[in-house]
Amino acid sequence: MFGLIGKMKAQPQKRDELLEILLAGTEAMPGCLSYIIAKDPSDADALWITEVWDDEANHKASLSLPAVQAAIARARPLIAGFEPSITTEPVGGVGLPRQIP
């Protein structure tokens, strides 16, 4: 499995609008096992995105999907920036198949 954890900063007071766009653009992504968007309780403009994919190739391919491209285009003006993301190797958990290390 392939995982990413990243922090996205919205333009001031645009987090909820950005959140709605991101949630609407995350359906039907082949190979996506989990895509969680969470509000940062200590930063009113920040979102945390945690992704789990069956492999890195499907993650990369998802960026070309029409729904994802449309969400990116709509969201871009609302994004103030990104903090460095972290790549992970998920091994299982609630809702995920267990991977033998």
Distance CA 38, CA 19 (A): 9
Q: What is the average pLDDT across 36-59?
A: 96
Does some domain include residue 77? yes
What 8-state DSSP symbol labels residue 78?
A: G
CATH of residue 65 = 3.30.70.100
Mean pLDDT, range 89-96, rounded to an integer: 89
45 belongs to a structural domain? yes
pLDDT over 80 at 27, yes or no: no
pLDDT at 28 over 90: no
Residue 93 lies in a domain: no
- Full-model pTM: 0.88
- Structural domain count of the chain: 1
Task: Determine the Cα–Cα distance for residues 53 and 88; give it in Å rounded to an integer.
Answer: 10
CB of 82 within 8 A of CB of 46? no
In angstroms, the CA 32 to CA 51 distance is 8
Region 36-63 average pLDDT = 96
